[in-house]
A and B are shown apart, each in its own frame.
Chain A
């Protein structure tokens, strides 16, 4: 196996696996929410308007920033520290290897650019086509240099910023809110992007619901995909517990753990819950209405507990999300009442957490 394959398996594969929730949502937009005619209309609009092209480039910039951030983080993670030896390769080799790696990571953007370019040629907007391609080449190249620079430098531990000090000093919070505080201090970007993406998806789903004769299952699937955008938050919450306040070391009973975890998850999904509460159509039956409100909180509890019951490395987490999504879409499509689904998820979650807690305390 050559160095490129090691890099692809360590960085590219891990990137796609870790962000599988995001890509599932993109697929949901592309194949569930949007029709073929809407795709063509959108691509034509982008291909013929400078402002829409610039907006697309802005979205791709966010994607590249996310990709660079992911690689930075990976290179500073224990198991991937050996990749820092890439800095000892010749500069040309480093550049070529990283260029290919980032090209594969950027492939979704390249693929969409190719789709839009078809309409660029149809409408003879060659300038916009050139702008788009130049941007993608420049973004790819810039990302390579950013990572080469990072490889050259030693790892910097995040220092306590003013924001961190302010929050830590001002707010002494009850245990269920510790993670929320941690999220705001250490992962504000993750929180912001997850919540923005999730709320955008919910609004698109609820908007679509009004436009035709859909039933509550569309809202259920939309809520599920909106949850997927937040799936990294759940993993982050799990890591927070493992690294900082290992659940088992706290002298708490199983009901106490369940309660505090549910509170944390409820606060984590408060924006989505409030959105659903204020936008739910009255035509939806109570059993599903209540089910939709609790769905994300209970689902996150289930997922969180499953991580304790059967721990999984971040790079394989996406697989678990994928299978869970497939299973739940199947369940929703069969019109299973959501409140009952929630009850089953909660029961399994509680069992998994209780089982883990029992095993760990027995081992001590």
Chain B
């Protein structure tokens, strides 16, 4: 398979030259310097590497760059492009929904996707929608609170 030459990331066409079998995560971090997307497990178990592909959440550590060529990729760096925080980012700040913050980018993008499909989720729906994300610091109750708060403030983006 030919190398991938271009990706649509955060609304911008970025030139790359990457073997199509490489992970999207490694291309974002190494080739495009978008280090906001984190490596946590390499097997899609922790969701620290979550990005949105055409609006749908995807684990970039098990997504090949070949599979996303031509699709719209949104990373955490693209969520507040003009410096104005997305309502979900704002809600995470307000709720102090983090400790070390390493899972936060993936959590926020997962929550953005959840709220797009379900603008006013119940506790159980948040748990169901976010259960693939690990916060080892255990800030889960605050994250649930933040998602509720964002839902109340038009967090569907």
Our verdict on whether A and B bind, yes or no, reads no
